[in-house]
Amino acid sequence: MALQMTVDPDAAEPPYEQIRARIAERARSGALPVGYKLPTVRGFAEELGLAANTVAKAYRALEADGVIETRGRNGTFIAAPGDTADREAAAAAQAYAQRAHRLGLDRAAALTAAENALRAVYGD
């Protein structure tokens, strides 16, 4: 299975985000199975016609999100799904709640701000 992908240089999303989003979606859907070995940063960058730093930035973001894991010289692989996303979301929610409280927002105002932000990202 080859990792077929193109990057649209005219898209609103930067190239690294296009790579990150597509790999994350394919991993979530199972199109890229757990343990699938991703191409090297340099090799993938050459294949896409991008700078190696662009692919490296996407891989770093995917690793931070728990989508991929790097196993040293063995390469980079699709990680087993775990509770990484849940933990990260809970930590972000906690940080938001503390910040909103420090800003003096009451619960209703904090919830409204969070709901508006979610609507902006996810749509109605």
Q: Looking at the domain assignment, is residue 4 inside a domain?
A: no
pLDDT tens digits, 7-47: 999 999 999 999 999 999 999 898 999 999 999 999 999 99
Domain range enclosing 47: 15-78
Q: Looking at the domain assignment, is residue 6 inside a domain?
A: no
Token pair 């343990």 is at which residue?
35
Answer left, alpha or beta for residue 22, where phi above 0 means left and psi between -120 and 50 means alpha: alpha
Across the chain, which distance is largest between two alpha carbons, in Å?
53
pLDDT tens digits, 60-104: 999 998 899 999 899 999 998 766 667 778 778 989 999 999 999
Look at residues 46, 61, 78 and tell me which one is the last residue of a structural domain. Answer: 78
Report the mean per-residue pLDDT for the chain.
92
Mean pLDDT of the 107-115 span: 96
Q: Which residues pair with 37 in a beta bridge?
A: 77
State the Cα–Cα distance between residues 114 and 14, nearest whole angstrom.
25
Q: Looking at the domain assignment, is residue 42 inside a domain?
A: yes
pLDDT at 88: 76
Q: How far is CA 18 from CA 13, 56, 100, 112, in A?
A: 6, 13, 31, 30
* Entry pTM: 0.70
Residues across the chain: 124
